[in-house]
Amino acid sequence: MSLAFDEFGRPFLIIKDQGMKSRVRGIEAQKANIQAAKAVARTLRSSLGPKGMDKILQSGDGDITITNDGATILQEMEVEHQIGKLLVELSRSQDYEIGDGTTGVVVLAGSLLEQAEVLLDRGIHPLRIAEGFEMASKVAVTELDRISETFEFSPDNPERLVETCMTTLSSKIVNRCKREMAEICVKAVMAVADFERRDVNLDLIKVEGKVGGKLEDTVLVNGIVLDKDISHPQMAKEIKDAKIAILTCPFEPPKPKTKHKIDIDTAEKYEELRLQEEKYFKDMVQQCKDSGATLIICQWGFDDEANHLLMHEKLPAIRWVGGVELELIAIATGGRIVPRFQELSSDKLGAAGSVKEVAFGTTKDRMIVIEDCAASKAVTVFVRGGNKMMVEETKRSLHDAICVARNLVRSNKIVYGGGSAEIACGIAVEEAADKIPGVEQYAMRAFAEALDAIPTALAENSGLPPIETVAQVKSQQLKVKNPNMGVDCKETGTNDMKEQGVFETLIGKQQQMLLATQVVKLILKIDDVITSGKYD
């Protein structure tokens, strides 16, 4: 693309392959962008809440995914539009930072853009709308801080954490045994949490799944679970007080870098070559033995001869262990990852109280369990389920609950769910808008109306009359000045979310509003789109 000037000195753009590109500018570009974002948000709207619908997605190679997790739905969807991809990134950002609220953040962004479209039709400039939204989001975040509550918990009494994780799991496929799952997630977080620094290293929590058994068979293992087996059937299946050599070098003779060819024309030459190769293997095994290792974990495979020699030396081995798992084992056991056999020494070995191979029922499935790791506490949530889809969706659900528990360790402030926080923020933003003299007050009122999209969607997905339900809850909040009143999705007979025990983390809700506002501001500022092929 380059800039040129016509005979009157007016600049114009010369675009490469101009005939194959289209360009939309001004209000048309903004409206086209808003329509694309609204389409993505409408897709997720029906998945919000404890009674939200699931989506079934088929990948290019025919794999089926059934989920109501917003980040997963958008990740699996083949979104072509640029603004649609921006909402995919928005959901992913919420997932990375908070772990929960990935559907709500996209629904909120779509609702804000719907309101922005109405203001654009009324002739208000996009930048003034964006400024109004920014002012409203600051009021909303301040109001969230005001209505939030601090609750106390400790490793000995984590009940409040369990209740919050149960709220997260209520909208997931595992809701029939959400209590057990929430307890597993909280125990996992408590095991690796650093309460002095108020932080949790999620790398030390591994979620592993295996098809088979019931969902209720899901357990928390105080160690690391590998979907591997001991490399030779005659090796020891259980090693106590294991000294672990963690290798990234393969058990095989070195390969020359240059092209080579060996002519073997006699049996003596062949025998000499075999002995030389055997010597390589013996030296490698001996170096492992000399270091004091009682278990070898290798990133690569090794052939039958190396495997036989390791078995003969009574040195159990696990092969084809992935790089991420290798790093986790190194962190947990205090070992060093060794790239060459010559560098292997006793001070680089990891330590674990027990390493054993576990079998499942009558199947041939085997897994390795590494327990009592020396350097740091590492835990694994081992998920069981009737089929692959069930296991994968359970892993995603548990990841969200673990992230929520992590956020509460970081900041133990909560707001109440069921759309109560959004309605309270909407009321505060409307009151603040009355004090703003400029055009931004219209954008602030639009922001307050957009916040009603969350409770409205919750009511719709629960089979309740949306307008009537939201109006009733809002009037209750105004009458009794109780910001805990929300949509009774479970139809328990009370709208007080505190009584129902429906919690959300404060930092998660604040992040949701800030992220949605920032993305909407970005979309409103785009007024010129140049794209290859047809723009739709």
From CA 221, how far away is CA 184, in angstroms rounded? 10
From CA 446, how far away is CA 440, in angstroms rounded? 10
* Residue 78 burial (CB count, 10 A): 8
Q: Judge whether 321 and 299 are in contact, CB under 8 Å.
A: yes
- HEC string of 127-155? HHHHHHHHHHHHHHHHHHHHHCEECCCEC
From CA 519, how far away is CA 522, in angstroms rounded? 5
Longest CA–CA span in the chain (Å) reads 100
Q: Which residues contact 502 (CB under 8 A, 6 or more apart)?
A: 167, 170, 416, 417, 418, 486
| Tokens matching residue 105 | 């953040």
Q: Which residues contact 191 (CB under 8 A, 6 or more apart)?
A: 222, 377, 379
Amino acid code (one letter) for 281: F
* Angle, helices 82-97/506-524, rounded to nearest 10 degrees: 160
| Tokens matching residue 349 | 């070995």
* C-alpha gyration radius of the chain: 29
From CA 36, how far away is CA 465, in angstroms rounded? 27
Strand ranges for 159-294 from DSSP E: 193-194, 199-200, 205-211, 219-221, 223-226, 238-247
Q: 465 burial class (0-12, 13-18, 19+ CB within 10 angstroms)?
A: exposed
Strand ranges for 314-361 from DSSP E: 317-318, 337-338, 350-359
Report how many helices (DSSP H) and strands (DSSP E) the chain contains, helices first: 17, 21
CA 374 vs. chain centroid, Å, equals 28
Pairing relationship of beta strands 55-58 and 64-67 according to DSSP bridges: antiparallel
| Tokens matching residue 417 | 């769910």
From CA 294, how far away is CA 316, in angstroms rounded? 7
Nearest-5° angle of CA 510, CA 496, CA 103? 40
Active-site residues, by number, are 69, 102-103, 400
Nearest-5° angle of CA 12, CA 14, CA 20? 125
